[in-house]
A and B are shown apart, each in its own frame.
Chain A
Amino acid sequence: SQQGEEDPQALSIQEGENATMNCSYKTSINNLQWYRQNSGRGLVHLILIRSNEREKHSGRLRVTLDTSKKSSSLLITASRAADTASYFCATDAGQAGTALIFGKGTTLSVSS
């Protein structure tokens, strides 16, 4: 069963624009992670934010976390055609040994 739900399901933008994707989840978490999946490939980890953090940056990526609203957002600034991929949020419930539960993802298309 999905814990995280991404919004929107699909997003199309031009190169240079910013892309924002949102994730909502249902239960308390230890951390939330974002992954990227290029077509025909496995998922690749992008960034992890812990439940006691509110914002985190990594290069052109900015992630926010609002535990009171059980939501997170991923912002990709100055997008490039190479950012075209599906993006997934995944939650870690925090108990020892639990697995990540993934949402259905947001498909991002960046056109040049």
Chain B
Amino acid sequence: DAGVIQSPRHEVTEMGQEVTLRCKPISGHDYLFWYRQTMMRGLELLIYFNNNVPIDDSGMPEDRFSAKMPNASFSTLKIQPSEPRDSAVYFCASRQGFRPQHFGDGTRLSIL
């Protein structure tokens, strides 16, 4: 049974570049979440979707961040333009209804 799949696992890029993070949720899950984890701020909720519809994006730090979920099996988080302070581990998680969340192994993003 495949879990939540994130790609890439690591991304190193220069500031100003566009970064796209990808997530494939567990089949049948109707909620998808994007989190960002840093030492200073811990695990922050960025945005979540229900049945492919964005429900709450109040955690998205700036207009440079955008997220889409074109279908039930795919979501992207895009940062354009990227800045060094965006360096963090980005997690995608999914869940079915009100059951516990399942996390991917994250994308470690470094902006130079």
* Nearest A-chain residue to B46, judged by Cβ: A99
Secondary structure at the B interface, as helix, strand, loop or mixed, is strand
Complex CA distance for A100 and B42, rounded to whole angstroms: 14
Q: In the complex, which residues of chain B have a beta carbon less than 8 angstroms from the beta carbon of A104?
A: 42-43
Quick one: given A42-B103, A42-B105, A43-B103, are A102 and B42 in contact (CB under 8 Å)?
yes
A59 within 8 A of B: no
Whole-angstrom distance between the Cβ of A51 and the nearest chain B Cβ:
13
Query: Quick check: is B102 within 8 A (CB to CB) of the other chain?
Result: yes
| Chain B positions 53-112 with a Cβ under 8 Å from a chain A Cβ | 55-56, 91, 93, 98, 100-106
Taken together as a complex, chains A and B put the C-alpha atoms of A105 and B103 apart, in Å, by: 16
Q: In the assembled complex, how far is the CB of residue A61 from the closest CB belonging to chain B, in whole angstroms?
A: 14
Per the bound structure, the CA–CA distance linking A36 and B34 in Å amounts to 18
Q: CB-nearest residue of chain A relative to B95?
A: A100
Range class of the A interface residue count: 20 to 34
Residues of A within 8 A of B43 (CB): 43, 88, 102, 104-105
Contacting residue for B104 out of A35, A42, A102, CB 8 A: A42
Q: Which residues of A contact B50 (CB under 8 A)?
A: 97
Q: A42-B104, A101-B45 are in contact. List 7 more A-B contacts (CB 8 A).
A: A2-B42, A43-B91, A44-B103, A97-B55, A102-B35, A103-B42, A104-B42
29 contacts between A and B (CB under 8 A): A30-B98, A33-B100, A41-B105, A41-B106, A42-B91, A42-B103, A42-B104, A42-B105, A42-B106, A43-B43, A43-B91, A43-B93, A44-B103, A45-B101, A88-B43, A92-B98, A97-B31, A97-B50, A99-B31, A99-B48, A99-B56, A100-B45, A100-B101, A102-B35, A102-B43, A103-B42, A104-B43, A105-B42, A105-B43
A-B CB proximity, top 9 nearest: A42-B103, A104-B42, A45-B100, A102-B43, A43-B103, A42-B105, A99-B48, A99-B45, A42-B104
Mark A residues whose CB is within 8 Å of B: 2, 30, 33, 35, 40-45, 48, 88, 92, 97, 99-105
